[in-house]
Amino acid sequence: MAEQQTIAALTNDLENFLRAFKDRGGKYKYFDKINHMMASNLVSLTIDYIDFDSFSPELAKQITHNPDEMFEAFSGAVLSILKEIHPDYEEEIRDKVRVRIGNYTVQKGLRDINADIIDKLIGVSGMVVRSSEVKPLAKKIGYRCLNCNTINESQLKGLALKRPLRCINCSEKELEMDPENSSFTDFQMVRLQELPEDLPAGQLPHYVEVTVMGDLVDQCRPGDRIMLTGIVRIEQEQLAPHVKASLFKLRMEGNNIEYLGGRAGNKDTRTVERIAISTEDEKNILSIAAKPDAYDKLIASFAPHVYGHEVLKEAILLLIVGSVTKKLGDGSTRRGDINVLLVGDPGTAKSEMLKFAAKIAPRGLYTSGRGSTAAGLTAAVIRDKTGIMMLEAGAVVLGDQGLVCIDEFDKLKPEDRSALHEVMEQQTCSVAKGGIVATLNARTSILSAANPLYGKYDPFKNITENVNLPVPLLTRFDLVYVVRDTPEREKDSRVASHILEIYRDSEHAAQPVIDIDLFSKYLAFSKQLEPELTSEAINLIRNYYMKMRNVESEGMITVTPRQLEGLVRLATARARLLLKDKVETDDAERAIYLIQRMLETAGVDVNTGKVDLGVLHGKPHSEVSKLKIFMDVFNGLSGEDKNDVEEKNFVYELVKTGKFTEDEATSYLKKAMQNGQIYERKTGFYAKA
């Protein structure tokens, strides 16, 4: 009796709070919310902990220590108010009403969840790494007696239901479940893992399993950074079937989910949305964009501790902002995300820039080559201990609508790298494993860094020979930059003083022009714009494209439509970055400049010294034409009867064409033998394989 009285008394106090609480504007905040529940078909009411604490600190303490009683009383209070306003709706949702606590201030780290806080309400922050499918969970089950038709009920305790052994009326043992007299609720398991920035150095991240029910189901998806308010529960471990150990494990029962706003999940700002920009921030953002030197300032704020590399920084900034993804009428899409590859000598601060980009992007992840597998990059299907097949999202799915930085791109195993082909062009990631066939969205920009094959970049070889990457993957990068480390007296002295200054005075050296938090919000803000192409910009891009298609036309093609789309994406991204609603000629010019810079470093055919994008697509044109002449001469000498060709004779004929020197001719002969195009029948005589 005493317990029932206390709950009744609590319900009265809470009803008082819900009816009487006024916010600063003098509105009855919670009474209005309850009033609107029916209209918006809600079954839960979120209460701000700070309001509650200011109303009654005693009751607020109670909610931390006896959450179960308090939530029961809260539901009762909400129902009794609803009964007056909408009695029919109250009847409908009587079993479903939940009260959620928002803005909860009793926070613990995931590492601090231990035996002392069992059955207490706490708030933890973390990143969702996997979520199971949604299943129904029985809250109460009615068992019908086959003898006398009596319904025997069993209620849910924790996650276990005790089945009644015999009928309460006639002690008959034969009972069958009766779905009509049972009630179910949606149920989902979510795994919450420690945030990367909370991780102590060299430790494995801790995680906790969370059960969410009712309307919290499917609120968060893998990759979200959330603040979870919930009650810590224990459940008994089963070592073997029918053997219960004295060991228990902790899990949490979710009560409320809020998203962490700000860069990299700043714990003080919590929102219901995924990233929050206040009006104050918006003012600052617009004032930055209005200045004439905004573009240079933005580039200077990116990784200020790295000296130089302005073109690379600009390219990475455009990549973070990205372009608009176009949806066409027939349902297909045109990719808006920009991919960039940096190839370069060791020690040119490639990884530094990647790490900085991952830190500042609205949703950025950093991973490295050798430590990543195809399943870790795309998605894995795992079997849960309950036997449920679960889909675990990998890096590119977690970074959906964000940025994934892959360092040591050349060290990835070839079979793992092939998983990225689909991600980079179609922007999806398909899985067919263990009965799960799914296509997940992976709308990410990919920024990767690779080292040349032989340690340093060899300027006398083409890029495909320098980097151990397959050609189809190279062509999917909008920009490929070669970062060379060449000694220059003036530049080297400036780099040295820049680095030494950071060591001498780390407080003031390399200060960004724009504060890093604001910078991150600026980038998030600019991602919402959708600038349109002006006809002047279109003409500029078209003329450049036509000019490049027509370079010293001897059947030599330099750019493909992929580069044309790349140009449009870069121009749009620059307009976005400057918060413009039109893509103008200066944006197009800048995009052309960036592509031109790429062609000067990565797109030059070293045999002729001319720009040739065939270099990125496998063989440059000069080599292709030489090979053709080589085979033509060979076929001409061997004739229709496929006679053996004498080496001396063959080399003489090749030199006569004027395209080969004697040394080149012999080296081509050796190459053709290695490739298996021709073979040596007897010394000095060759035949076609």
| Span 163-200, pLDDT tens digits | 778 888 787 777 888 888 888 888 888 888 887 777 77
> Total domain count for the chain?
4
Give the span between the Cα atoms of 114 and 120, in whole angstroms.
11
Per-residue pLDDT, 628: 66
Confidence band of 555 (pLDDT split at 50, 70, 90): very low
Average pLDDT over residues 199-204: 80
Q: DSSP alpha helices (H): ranges in 322-382?
A: 350-360, 374-377
Checking if the pLDDT of 268 tops 60, the result is no
The reply to whether 144 falls in a domain is yes
Checking if the pLDDT of 357 tops 60, the result is yes
CB 186 within 8 A of CB 134: yes
- Residue-wise pLDDT for 87-144, tens only, equals 888 888 887 888 888 888 888 888 888 888 888 999 998 888 777 778 888 888 888 8
Among residues 572, 601, 630, the one where a domain terminates is: 601
Which residues does 376 contact at the CB level (< 8 Å), separation at least 6? 367, 394, 395
Reported pTM:
0.69
Domain shared by 472 and 581, yes or no:
yes
Nearest CA to 657 out of 686, 632, 622 is that of: 632
Domain shared by 542 and 456, yes or no:
yes
Which residues does 451 contact at the CB level (< 8 Å), separation at least 6? 343, 344, 345, 346, 408, 410
Checking if the pLDDT of 557 tops 60, the result is no
The reply to whether 61 falls in a domain is yes
Domain shared by 350 and 488, yes or no:
yes
Q: Which two tokens stand for residue 168?
A: 């309460």
Question: CATH no. for residue 313?
Answer: 3.40.50.300
Choice among 412-426, 534-548, 566-580 with the minimum mean pLDDT:
412-426
Tell me the one-letter amino acid at 192: L
Choice among 430-434, 473-477, 490-494, 609-613 with the minimum mean pLDDT:
609-613
Using the 8-state DSSP alphabet, how is residue 28 labeled? Answer: B
Q: Which two tokens stand for residue 97?
A: 């009403």
Domain shared by 587 and 543, yes or no:
yes
Using the 8-state DSSP alphabet, how is residue 328 labeled? Answer: P
Checking if the pLDDT of 343 tops 80, the result is yes
Domain shared by 70 and 212, yes or no:
no
The reply to whether 612 falls in a domain is no
Give the span between the Cα atoms of 678 and 72, in whole angstroms.
85
- 3-state SS, residue 177: strand
- Residue-wise pLDDT for 503-512, tens only, equals 888 777 767 7
The more confident residue out of 662 and 209 is 209
Give the torsion sign (CA, 104, 109, 110, 111): negative
Give the span between the Cα atoms of 310 and 317, in whole angstroms.
10
Question: CATH no. for residue 66?
Answer: 3.30.1640.10
Checking if the pLDDT of 269 tops 60, the result is no
Domain shared by 418 and 553, yes or no:
yes
Using the 8-state DSSP alphabet, how is residue 301 labeled? Answer: H
- 3-state SS, residue 143: strand
Among residues 271, 296, 323, the one where a domain terminates is: 271
The more confident residue out of 688 and 380 is 380
- Mean pLDDT score of the chain, rounded to an integer? 79
Q: Count of CB atoms within 10 A of residue 582's CB?
A: 12
Domain shared by 387 and 308, yes or no:
yes
The reply to whether 606 falls in a domain is no
pLDDT above 70 covers a percentage of the chain that reads 83
Domain shared by 288 and 369, yes or no:
yes
Counting other chains too, the contacts that 624-627 makes at CB distance below 8 Å and 24 or more residues apart are 625/554, 625/555, 625/659, 626/659, 626/660, 626/668, 627/668
Checking if the pLDDT of 548 tops 80, the result is no
Give the span between the Cα atoms of 128 and 227, in whole angstroms.
10
Checking if the pLDDT of 330 tops 80, the result is yes
- Residue-wise pLDDT for 28-53, tens only, equals 888 888 888 888 888 888 888 888 88
Q: DSSP alpha helices (H): ranges in 433-584?
A: 463-466, 471-474, 489-504, 516-526, 535-549, 561-577
- Residue-wise pLDDT for 581-605, tens only, equals 888 888 888 888 888 888 777 666 6
Checking if the pLDDT of 659 tops 80, the result is no
The reply to whether 611 falls in a domain is no
Confidence band of 615 (pLDDT split at 50, 70, 90): low
- Residue-wise pLDDT for 368-402, tens only, equals 877 777 777 777 777 776 676 777 777 777 777 77
Among residues 271, 297, 319, the one where a domain terminates is: 271
Q: Residue 132 sits in which domain range?
A: 110-271
Confidence band of 558 (pLDDT split at 50, 70, 90): low
Per-residue pLDDT, 264: 44
Lookup result for tokens 């590859």: 341
Average pLDDT over residues 62-81: 87
CB 169 within 8 A of CB 145: yes
Average pLDDT over residues 465-484: 80
The reply to whether 678 falls in a domain is yes
The more confident residue out of 275 and 589 is 589
Please state whether 75 falls in left (phi above 0), alpha (psi between -120 and 50) or beta: alpha
Q: DSSP alpha helices (H): ranges in 198-309?
A: 279-290, 294-301
Checking if the pLDDT of 689 tops 70, the result is no
Per-residue pLDDT, 263: 47
Domain shared by 154 and 255, yes or no:
yes
Give the span between the Cα atoms of 91 and 20, in whole angstroms.
24
Tell me the one-letter amino acid at 222: P
Domain shared by 145 and 77, yes or no:
no
* Partners of residue 686 on adjacent β-strands: 645, 680
Give the span between the Cα atoms of 362 and 70, in whole angstroms.
38
Per-residue pLDDT, 53: 86
The reply to whether 575 falls in a domain is yes
The more confident residue out of 4 and 330 is 330
Domain shared by 317 and 466, yes or no:
yes
Domain shared by 259 and 300, yes or no:
no
CB 227 within 8 A of CB 125: yes
Checking if the pLDDT of 464 tops 60, the result is yes
Classify each residue of 286-315 as buried b or exposed e, where b means 16 or more C-beta atoms within 10 Å of its C-beta. eebbeeeebbebbbebbbbebbebebbbbb
Checking if the pLDDT of 265 tops 50, the result is no
Question: CATH no. for residue 251?
Answer: 2.40.50.140
Give me the phi and psi of 409, to 5 degrees please: -60, -30
The reply to whether 646 falls in a domain is yes
Nearest CA to 17 out of 69, 59, 68, 62 is that of: 59
